[in-house]
Amino acid sequence: MRKMLFLAGLVLVAAAAWAQAFTSTPLKVGETAPAFELQGSDGKTYSLKQFAGQEAVVLAWFPKAQTKGCTIECKSLGEQAEALRKYKVALFAISVDKPEDNKTFAENLKLPYPILSDPSRETAKAYGVLKGAPVSARNTIYIGKDGKVLLVDDSIKTETAAADMLKHFEQLGIEKK
Protein backbone atom coordinates (compact mmCIF):
# COMPACT_ATOMS: atom_id res chain seq x y z
CA MET A 1 0.00 0.00 0.00
CA ARG A 2 2.82 2.40 0.86
CA LYS A 3 4.50 1.73 -2.48
CA MET A 4 1.25 2.47 -4.33
CA LEU A 5 0.81 5.76 -2.45
CA PHE A 6 4.42 6.66 -3.12
CA LEU A 7 4.03 5.90 -6.85
CA ALA A 8 0.78 7.86 -7.01
CA GLY A 9 2.56 10.79 -5.39
CA LEU A 10 5.36 10.58 -7.93
CA VAL A 11 2.85 10.57 -10.79
CA LEU A 12 1.16 13.67 -9.37
CA VAL A 13 4.48 15.48 -8.97
CA ALA A 14 5.50 14.55 -12.53
CA ALA A 15 2.14 15.71 -13.92
CA ALA A 16 2.41 19.03 -12.08
CA ALA A 17 5.96 19.54 -13.35
CA TRP A 18 4.83 18.75 -16.93
CA ALA A 19 1.97 21.25 -16.72
CA GLN A 20 4.19 23.95 -15.21
CA ALA A 21 6.84 23.48 -17.90
CA PHE A 22 4.23 24.03 -20.61
CA THR A 23 2.13 26.77 -19.04
CA SER A 24 2.62 30.49 -19.20
CA THR A 25 0.82 33.66 -18.18
CA PRO A 26 -1.00 35.46 -21.02
CA LEU A 27 0.13 38.93 -22.01
CA LYS A 28 -2.10 41.88 -21.21
CA VAL A 29 -3.03 44.77 -23.47
CA GLY A 30 -0.70 47.70 -22.83
CA GLU A 31 2.25 45.57 -21.70
CA THR A 32 5.53 45.80 -23.53
CA ALA A 33 5.83 42.79 -25.83
CA PRO A 34 8.74 40.51 -24.97
CA ALA A 35 11.78 40.74 -27.24
CA PHE A 36 12.39 37.84 -29.59
CA GLU A 37 14.86 36.79 -32.24
CA LEU A 38 13.69 33.78 -34.24
CA GLN A 39 14.48 32.04 -37.50
CA GLY A 40 11.92 32.31 -40.28
CA SER A 41 10.96 29.69 -42.83
CA ASP A 42 12.71 31.89 -45.42
CA GLY A 43 16.07 31.39 -43.64
CA LYS A 44 16.20 34.95 -42.26
CA THR A 45 16.27 35.85 -38.57
CA TYR A 46 13.61 38.27 -37.33
CA SER A 47 13.41 40.26 -34.12
CA LEU A 48 10.77 42.51 -32.63
CA LYS A 49 13.25 45.40 -32.33
CA GLN A 50 13.87 45.54 -36.10
CA PHE A 51 10.29 46.80 -36.60
CA ALA A 52 10.23 49.25 -33.65
CA GLY A 53 8.79 52.61 -34.62
CA GLN A 54 8.20 51.49 -38.21
CA GLU A 55 5.27 49.12 -38.29
CA ALA A 56 3.04 46.96 -36.14
CA VAL A 57 3.92 43.29 -35.68
CA VAL A 58 1.37 40.48 -35.73
CA LEU A 59 2.29 37.03 -34.44
CA ALA A 60 -0.24 34.39 -35.48
CA TRP A 61 0.65 31.49 -33.16
CA PHE A 62 -0.51 28.06 -34.31
CA PRO A 63 -0.11 24.65 -32.61
CA LYS A 64 1.53 22.37 -35.17
CA ALA A 65 2.69 22.50 -38.79
CA GLN A 66 1.09 20.11 -41.27
CA THR A 67 -2.11 19.70 -39.25
CA LYS A 68 -5.60 20.39 -40.58
CA GLY A 69 -6.56 23.49 -38.59
CA CYS A 70 -3.13 25.08 -38.92
CA THR A 71 -3.13 24.46 -42.67
CA ILE A 72 -6.53 26.12 -43.00
CA GLU A 73 -5.43 29.13 -40.91
CA CYS A 74 -2.12 29.66 -42.72
CA LYS A 75 -3.78 29.24 -46.13
CA SER A 76 -6.39 31.84 -45.14
CA LEU A 77 -3.63 34.33 -44.36
CA GLY A 78 -1.82 33.46 -47.59
CA GLU A 79 -4.93 33.86 -49.72
CA GLN A 80 -5.53 37.34 -48.27
CA ALA A 81 -1.88 38.41 -48.41
CA GLU A 82 -2.59 41.27 -50.82
CA ALA A 83 -5.24 42.79 -48.52
CA LEU A 84 -3.05 42.26 -45.44
CA ARG A 85 -0.05 43.94 -47.14
CA LYS A 86 -2.03 47.19 -47.44
CA TYR A 87 -1.28 47.81 -43.76
CA LYS A 88 1.97 48.78 -42.04
CA VAL A 89 2.28 45.36 -40.45
CA ALA A 90 5.01 42.76 -40.25
CA LEU A 91 2.96 39.54 -40.27
CA PHE A 92 4.36 36.24 -39.09
CA ALA A 93 2.83 32.86 -38.43
CA ILE A 94 4.73 31.28 -35.55
CA SER A 95 4.94 27.89 -33.83
CA VAL A 96 7.20 25.83 -31.62
CA ASP A 97 8.01 23.52 -34.53
CA LYS A 98 11.60 23.09 -35.74
CA PRO A 99 12.74 25.50 -38.48
CA GLU A 100 12.98 22.70 -41.06
CA ASP A 101 9.38 21.62 -40.34
CA ASN A 102 8.08 25.18 -40.75
CA LYS A 103 10.16 25.66 -43.90
CA THR A 104 8.58 22.58 -45.48
CA PHE A 105 5.11 23.66 -44.32
CA ALA A 106 5.54 27.18 -45.76
CA GLU A 107 6.89 25.81 -49.06
CA ASN A 108 4.06 23.27 -49.38
CA LEU A 109 1.47 26.01 -48.88
CA LYS A 110 3.44 28.53 -50.99
CA LEU A 111 3.03 31.08 -48.21
CA PRO A 112 3.95 34.70 -49.03
CA TYR A 113 5.02 35.39 -45.43
CA PRO A 114 7.52 33.65 -43.14
CA ILE A 115 6.72 31.24 -40.36
CA LEU A 116 8.89 31.80 -37.29
CA SER A 117 10.18 28.83 -35.30
CA ASP A 118 10.49 28.73 -31.51
CA PRO A 119 11.57 25.14 -30.75
CA SER A 120 12.97 26.16 -27.34
CA ARG A 121 9.48 27.46 -26.41
CA GLU A 122 11.11 30.44 -24.65
CA THR A 123 9.29 33.00 -26.79
CA ALA A 124 6.02 31.04 -26.54
CA LYS A 125 6.34 31.06 -22.76
CA ALA A 126 7.15 34.79 -22.71
CA TYR A 127 4.12 35.50 -24.91
CA GLY A 128 1.79 33.43 -22.73
CA VAL A 129 0.70 30.98 -25.42
CA LEU A 130 1.61 27.74 -23.63
CA LYS A 131 -1.51 26.29 -22.06
CA GLY A 132 -0.28 23.07 -20.45
CA ALA A 133 0.74 21.32 -23.68
CA PRO A 134 4.05 21.12 -25.54
CA VAL A 135 2.54 23.10 -28.45
CA SER A 136 1.36 26.70 -28.50
CA ALA A 137 -2.26 27.71 -28.27
CA ARG A 138 -3.85 29.25 -31.36
CA ASN A 139 -3.49 32.96 -30.46
CA THR A 140 -2.81 36.05 -32.52
CA ILE A 141 -0.93 38.84 -30.80
CA TYR A 142 -1.02 42.37 -32.21
CA ILE A 143 1.88 44.64 -31.24
CA GLY A 144 1.97 48.37 -31.95
CA LYS A 145 4.88 50.28 -33.45
CA ASP A 146 5.74 51.32 -29.90
CA GLY A 147 6.22 47.67 -28.85
CA LYS A 148 3.09 47.57 -26.69
CA VAL A 149 0.54 44.76 -26.90
CA LEU A 150 -2.59 46.04 -28.65
CA LEU A 151 -4.65 42.84 -28.62
CA VAL A 152 -4.38 39.19 -27.65
CA ASP A 153 -6.91 37.27 -29.72
CA ASP A 154 -7.46 33.76 -28.40
CA SER A 155 -10.68 33.04 -30.30
CA ILE A 156 -9.25 32.34 -33.74
CA LYS A 157 -11.51 30.79 -36.36
CA THR A 158 -9.15 29.07 -38.78
CA GLU A 159 -11.36 29.53 -41.86
CA THR A 160 -11.77 33.30 -41.32
CA ALA A 161 -8.39 34.08 -39.76
CA ALA A 162 -7.42 36.63 -42.43
CA ALA A 163 -10.80 38.37 -42.59
CA ASP A 164 -10.87 38.61 -38.80
CA MET A 165 -7.31 39.96 -38.79
CA LEU A 166 -8.28 42.69 -41.27
CA LYS A 167 -11.19 43.69 -39.00
CA HIS A 168 -8.79 43.91 -36.06
CA PHE A 169 -6.42 46.11 -38.09
CA GLU A 170 -9.27 48.55 -38.62
CA GLN A 171 -10.50 48.39 -35.01
CA LEU A 172 -6.98 48.93 -33.67
CA GLY A 173 -6.31 51.82 -36.02
CA ILE A 174 -3.32 50.19 -37.67
CA GLU A 175 -2.05 52.48 -40.43
CA LYS A 176 -2.35 51.68 -44.08
CA LYS A 177 0.70 52.02 -46.32
Q: Answer whether 168's CB lies under 8 Å from 142's CB.
A: yes
Q: Is 74 a catalytic residue?
A: no
For residues 30 and 14, give the distance between their C-alpha atoms in angstroms, rounded to a whole number: 35
Q: Show the domains of the chain with their CATH numbers.
A: 2-172 (3.40.30.10)
Whole-model pTM: value is 0.85
Q: What is the mean pLDDT of residues 150-175?
A: 96
What counts of helices (H) and strands (E) characterise the chain?
6, 7
pLDDT tens across 94-139, in order? 999 999 999 999 999 999 999 999 999 999 999 999 877 788 999 9
Catalytic annotation, pick one of 33, 60, 65, 70 = 70
